[in-house]
Amino acid sequence: MLFVGPHVSIAKDISLAPVRAHELGATGFGLFTKNQRVWNAPPLSESSIVSFRQNMKEYGYTEKAILPHAGYLINPASPDKDLWDKSLSLFLDEASRTVSLSLNTINIHPGAYKEGLREDGIRRASLMMDEVLRSTPGIRIAIENTAGAGTILGSTFEELDALLEAAAEKDRIGFTLDTAHLFGSGYDIASDPDNVLDSFFSRFGKEKLYGMHLNDSKVPLASHKDRHESLGKGLIGKDAFMAIVSRPEVQGIPLVLETIDESLWKDEVEMLLTAQTDTRG
């Protein structure tokens, strides 16, 4: 089954996320488990957790269709010990929130190493992931690829591989491929999406693709910038997304829209679900 939907708001209460996704015709969705731009947030209430689970069940969503996203303040590669420790505490909290919602995967940016050697940043990022996995039974981590600006890690398949190889808990680490980030980092997902995906699968296998972020791009190939656009309105183009959702490897994993115009989300979901049906005949 194709699990596709937007990254929905948790405003007012996190339990409303499945309701909002359902209203858009989504078969899956993404969400934050707290405000993504603050260090501290009150714990999820038991009533919110129960209501979230009830709404998931009512609208037919399972954990396979949902991809929670860790907050933006977390920097697993940071050379600053205080910031690294704060990032670890926040990552642990968000992983715990994810499990409390009966979800099993959390998406994380690998972070920026800021100074010194890239290899040291990779080591620090992998160490943090190991700490989270050891402390949080039942969770998996999906490392999101990046566009590769500055000292940000994760812009190439080789670097994603290095992050995985440096970790001890390899069995519970996989990846989220963001199409806009692939394009920005130099992978021509627009002209030849099959070749890009085949390159990923030949290195990692299909079991390591935990999810995708389907975003068009405002900026050119290999720009090393991250500027999302609505599907078909950017430089990647509609045909590439049609090709992606036709791949058997993306069945059964969350395909999350982080596109910029919320008024188009319902149409984008319908387009992708229709494309899958048309491709299958």
Taking only the tens place, the pLDDT of each residue in 130-185 is 999 999 999 999 999 999 999 999 999 999 999 999 999 999 999 999 999 999 99
Nearest Cα to Cα of residue 101 among 148, 162, 50:
50
For a pLDDT cut of 70, what percent of the chain falls above it?
98
State whether residue 15 is helix, strand or coil.
helix
The predicted model gives 77-106 an average pLDDT of 98
Exposure string for 48-83, b = 16+ CB within 10 A, e = fewer: bbebbbebbeeeebebbbbbbbbbeebbbbbbeeee
Out of 26-40, 90-104, 123-137, 267-281, least confident range: 267-281
The predicted model gives 200-207 an average pLDDT of 98
The predicted model gives 51-73 an average pLDDT of 98
Average pLDDT value for the chain:
97
Distance CA 118, CA 120 (A): 5
CA angle 3, 212, 279 (to 5 degrees): 55
pLDDT at 280: 46
Distance CA 212, CA 196 (A): 13
Distance CA 249, CA 243 (A): 12
Residues 6+ apart with CB under 8 A from 45: none
pTM over 0.75: yes
Judged against a pLDDT cut of 90, whether residue 278 lies above it is answered with: no
Nearest Cα to Cα of residue 104 among 142, 63, 69:
63
pLDDT at 57: 98
pLDDT at 180: 98
Judged against a pLDDT cut of 60, whether residue 241 lies above it is answered with: yes
pLDDT at 275: 84
The predicted model gives 111-133 an average pLDDT of 98
State whether residue 187 is helix, strand or coil.
coil
- List the CATH number of the domain containing 64: 3.20.20.150
Domain that holds residue 175: 3-280
Distance CA 103, CA 97 (A): 9
The predicted model gives 54-61 an average pLDDT of 98
The predicted model gives 253-263 an average pLDDT of 98
- Which residues are marked as active site? 37, 69, 72, 109, 144, 178, 181, 213, 226, 228, 258
Number of domains present in the structure of the chain: 1
